[in-house]
Amino acid sequence: MHSDLTVLVIDENAIRASIIEEGLREAGHLRVTVVHEVNGIARIIENLKPDVIIIDLENPNRDMMEHLFQLTRTVGRPIAMFVDRSDTASIEAAVDAGVSAYIVDGLKKERVKPILDMAVSRFNAFSRLQRELADARARWKTG
């Protein structure tokens, strides 16, 4: 994967964020921005225009998850999400919101790059599929 990606890490826990940041930097990603506050994140994303977003939530509450899922539906970027605990409803909500990688209890520095690569690849594949579907619909309508 490209090491020149701009990566936004959203994590309220500075220690956990440093694990992700260190894993990214060791993998050659130098354009990493870490944000510890979820409030105002839409503006940060708009200004930074990251290529990839990594969200790390220790114990996400329902309101925080819903806020982040609303955000992820609109940003049009690959998103990898790390959580400590999960349930079926949270996983389904993440998939519906377009999260490209949803990792439960798997935050390790050496796993960050492969997860980031997989999230980008999955996002790109899904985007290609959507474009092909739109093209097929357009061809079908024009008959």
User: Does residue 17 sit within a domain?
Assistant: yes
Residue partners of 2: CB distance under 8 A and separation at least 6: none
Q: What is the DSSP code (8-state) at residue 111?
A: G
Q: 61: pLDDT confidence band, cut at 50, 70 and 90?
A: low
pLDDT tops 70 at residue 26 = yes
User: Does residue 37 sit within a domain?
Assistant: yes
User: Does residue 85 sit within a domain?
Assistant: yes
Which CATH number does the domain housing residue 133 bear?
3.40.50.2300
Token code pair at residue 10: 């959203």
Token code pair at residue 82: 């790390």
- The number of distinct structural domains making up the chain is 1
User: Does residue 1 sit within a domain?
Assistant: no
Q: What is the pLDDT of residue 29?
A: 92
- 3-state secondary structure (DSSP) of residue 102: strand
Range of the domain at 130: 6-142
Q: 2: pLDDT confidence band, cut at 50, 70 and 90?
A: low
Give the whole-angstrom CA distance, residue 17 versus residue 9.
7
Q: How many CB atoms lie within 10 A of CB 126?
A: 13
Is the whole model's pTM more than 0.85, yes or no?
no
**Mean per-residue pLDDT, 46-55:** 92
- 3-state secondary structure (DSSP) of residue 114: helix
List pLDDT tens digits, range 79-131: 898 888 778 888 888 888 788 888 888 788 888 889 899 889 988 898 899 88
Where helices occur in 8-111 by DSSP H, the ranges are 14-26, 41-48, 62-75, 88-97
Residue identified by tokens 């890490």 is 9
